[in-house]
Structure 1
Amino acid sequence: MAAYVSVVIVTYNRHDALLNVIEDVKQQQTTREFEIIVVDQSDTPLVEPPNDVRYIRLNTPSMVRARNRGISIAKGQLVVFIDDDVRIPDVGWLKELCHTFEIDDNIAGVAGRVTHMRRLSHPMKVFLRFDIPDVVKPVDTLIGCNMAVRKDCVIEVGGFDENFMGSCQREETEISLRLRKRGWKIYYNGKAQLMHLGLPAGGARSYSQKERHFYYFFNQFYFFFKHFRHTYWPMFVLLNIVDILHMLRQVWVDGFPIFMEAVRSAYLKAKRQKAYEGTTCR
C-alpha cells in the first residue's frame, strides 16, 4: 500500500501566492492519499483558509520551528515541504517525488528539481541550482523549497535544528548531513519539478535588509561551526566569498560589524549546542 503523504507549506506574509500553491497541489494526479498542511507565520491570519486544508498559526516567525510543527502534526509517513512562492505546472510532481522512495528503503529524503523565474542574484549560483532535468541520483543535500522526507527518519535525528534563524539557509543541508551520518540516503529526482518565483515581497523580504544579512551570515557560520573543524575555515570562506562580498557591499558601512557579530553569535550558539549534545566545538 502506498504511503500516505502530508504536503506542508510554510508561509509568511504571502497569502495570495499561498492560495495559488494550494490549488497547484490539489491538481496533482497521484493514487496516493495526501493532506495539505499550512503553517502560517504571517502578521495577520488567512481570512478564509480552504476547508480541505489543515491550517496552523505560529505567532513567532521561524522557518525551522514551522517545519518541525508541520512534521509533528503530519499524518503522512512521507512529508513534503514546499515554499509559498512556488508554482507547480506538472501534475505528476508529487507522484515523482514520492515514487523515488521506492528505489531504496534507506532513502530518507528526496530533493526535486527547482527552476527559477527571477534572475539569480549572482553568477556563482548557477552551480548550486537543483535544475538538472530527468535525472534520478544520490546527492548530499535536500533543498528546502522542494523536498520530501520520511517522517520517522527526521524524528530519529531530532528534527530540524531550531537554532537556525529567520527564514533560514543551511537548515536543509544540516539535517541532510545528520541523516547521512546515521546511514540514510538522500536522492534527487529531476522529474519532480516546480518553479520558484522569488517574489519581491513577503517571506525573507519581510525582514529588514540588516536582519536578512545577519541571519544569512549566522546560519552559514552556525552550520560550519557545528559540523566542521576550524582548519576548514579558509575553504569555507572561499566557497562563500561571492555571497559575503555581495552582501557586505549592499549594507556598506554597517556590513562588517553585522558580519562579525553574526560570526561571533554563530560560534557561541554552536558551542552551546555541541556541549548540549556531548561533543566539543573544535
Structure 2
Amino acid sequence: MPAPVCSIIILTYRRPEDLAIALESTGAQRLGDPFEVIVVDNSPEGSAQTQVERFAATASHRVIYVSEKTPGISSARNAGLGVARGELIAFLDDDQVADPEWLERMIAAQRANDAEAVFGWVEPYTKVEAPPYAEIFFDPLSRRFEIPSGRVPPKLIAKLGTNNSLFRASALDGKKTFDPTLNLTGGEDSAVIKKIAERGGTLVWCKEGRVREHVPPDRLRLGFLLERRFSSGQLRSRHFYAGPSRSYRQLAKWVAIGAVQATGGALLASSTLVVAPVFARKMLAEAAGGLGKVFFLDRFVVERYRRPPVEVVQPTPAEAAAEKTSAGG
C-alpha cells in the first residue's frame, strides 16, 4: 500500500454510534490520493477495537486502531501522531461528520497557501428538538467564521482548535507535540496553535472544508455551557501563568479583562432575565468566561477530560472458584 498523503486522527472515548458515522464519512472522501485513518481509543477497556477492526476490514483506505490507556486528550493525540505516516495530519472528532469533499478541500487550501495548519468550518447539529436559545450552546462548539478563505486574522487565532484541522507533519513534534500536563483540562490544541503562530507559521481558514458536529442533549444544558465557558476563561489566563509563554504582565491583563467581563455580564444578565431571557443567558455565559479568567489557579481548575472512576465488578462465587481452580492448574 503506498504511503499516505494524509493521516486522519480520530480520538474516541465510548461513543460507538457517533464514531460509526465519523468513520463512514472518512470512507466517503473523494480524495484521489491515498490516506489513512488512525482511531485512538482512550477508554481503559479498549471498547472501540472490535468496531474499528470491523470497519477496517471493508475500508478502501488503511485504518489503524490504537489503544491509549493513559487518560487524557494530550496523550491520545500524541499516540495517534506516533503511528501517523502522512506528510499531512488531519484531526476529526469522533462526533463529527465530514463532507465528502472535506479532505480534498483542506489539502488544496494547505498546498495553495503553503500553510503549516488549516482550519475548517464546524456546523453543530442535534438529533433532538433544540431549545429556542440553542444558538448560545452551539457557539462554543462551532467554528463558523463569515470571512473568505485565506489567512486567519490574528484576532481569530484564539478561537481555533484541532476539531476539523489539518497540519503539516513537520510543523508538529511527533509524540511530544501535545503537553501531557493539559491532559485533563484541555487547551492542548490552543497551545500548539499559538506556538505555530508565534514562530511565524501560516494559519489558513478554509470555509469550504466542512464538518458537522453532533451536540447531544446533555450539552444543551445551561450548566454545561457555563462550565465550558468558565473552563475556557481559565485556559486563557493559565496560558500566561506557567510554561514557556509565562508572562505576568499578560496574566494581569487577562485577569483584569475577566473581572470586567464577569461584572458586566452578571449585571446585564440579572437586568434582562425577564424581558430578554435568551440575551440574559448569553450574558451569564460571558460572566462565566470572565470568572474563569480571574479564578485560574490550580485549586479552581475544571478538568473537562477527567474520567469517571472505573467500576470494579466483583466476581460471583462460582466465577471466583473457577478462577482459583484455573490458577491452581
Please give the range of the TM-score, normalised by the shorter of the 2 chains: 0.7 to 0.9
1:94 correspondence with 2:95: no
Q: Which has the larger radius of gyration?
A: 2
Distance 2:21 2:151 in 1: 31
Q: Which of 120, 131, 154 matches 2:172? A: 154
Unpaired runs of at least 5, structure 1: 203-207, 250-254, 267-282
In 2, are the aligned partners of 1:217 and 1:262 still within 8 Å (CA)? Answer: no
Q: What amino acid maps onto 1:180 in structure 2?
A: A
1:190 correspondence with 2:207: yes
Q: In the TM superposition, what is the alpha-carbon distance from 1:264 to its structure 2 partner?
A: 8.3
Q: In the TM superposition, what is the alpha-carbon distance from 1:83 to its structure 2 partner?
A: 0.7
Residues 154-173 of structure 1 aligned to structure 2 (within 5 Å): 154-155=172-173, 158-166=176-184, 168=186, 170-173=187-190
In 2, are the aligned partners of 1:174 and 1:223 still within 8 Å (CA)? Answer: yes
Distance 2:112 2:120 in 1: 15
In 1, are the aligned partners of 2:230 and 2:288 still within 8 Å (CA)? Answer: no
Unpaired runs of at least 5, structure 2: 127-133, 263-283, 304-329
- Structure 1 runs, 4 residues or longer, greater than 3 Å off: 120-123, 211-221, 239-249, 258-266
Distance 1:216 1:247 in 2: 7
Q: Report the TM-score when normalising by structure 2.
A: 0.64
Distance 1:157 1:183 in 2: 22
What number of residue pairs does the alignment pair up? Answer: 251
In 2, are the aligned partners of 1:38 and 1:56 still within 8 Å (CA)? Answer: yes
Cα 1:12/1:201, change in 2 over 3 Å: farther
Percent identity (aligned): 23
Q: In the TM superposition, what is the alpha-carbon distance from 1:66 to its structure 2 partner?
A: 1.1
1:57 correspondence with 2:67: yes
Q: Report the TM-score when normalising by structure 1.
A: 0.74
In 2, are the aligned partners of 1:7 and 1:36 still within 8 Å (CA)? Answer: yes
1:246 correspondence with 2:324: no
Distance 2:121 2:105 in 1: 11
Q: Which of 125, 143, 149 matches 2:161? A: 143
Match of 1:84 in 2: 94
Cα 1:74/1:149, change in 2 over 3 Å: same
In 1, are the aligned partners of 2:11 and 2:77 still within 8 Å (CA)? Answer: yes
Distance 2:296 2:110 in 1: 40
In 2, are the aligned partners of 1:58 and 1:66 still within 8 Å (CA)? Answer: yes
User: Is the partner of 1:163 in helix, strand or coil?
Assistant: helix
Q: In the TM superposition, what is the alpha-carbon distance from 1:191 to its structure 2 partner?
A: 0.3
Distance 1:121 1:198 in 2: 12
In 2, are the aligned partners of 1:135 and 1:191 still within 8 Å (CA)? Answer: no
Match of 1:36 in 2: 37
User: Is the partner of 1:98 in helix, strand or coil?
Assistant: helix
Q: In the TM superposition, what is the alpha-carbon distance from 1:181 to its structure 2 partner?
A: 2.5
1:48 correspondence with 2:51: yes
User: Is the partner of 1:103 in helix, strand or coil?
Assistant: helix
In 2, are the aligned partners of 1:97 and 1:192 still within 8 Å (CA)? Answer: yes
CA displacement, residues 104-148 of structure 1 (integer Å, 9 cap, x when unaligned): 33x11100011122534469x47x952136721212434221101
Q: In the TM superposition, what is the alpha-carbon distance from 1:42 to its structure 2 partner?
A: 2.1
User: Is the partner of 1:148 in helix, strand or coil?
Assistant: strand
In 2, are the aligned partners of 1:11 and 1:83 still within 8 Å (CA)? Answer: yes
Match of 1:236 in 2: 254
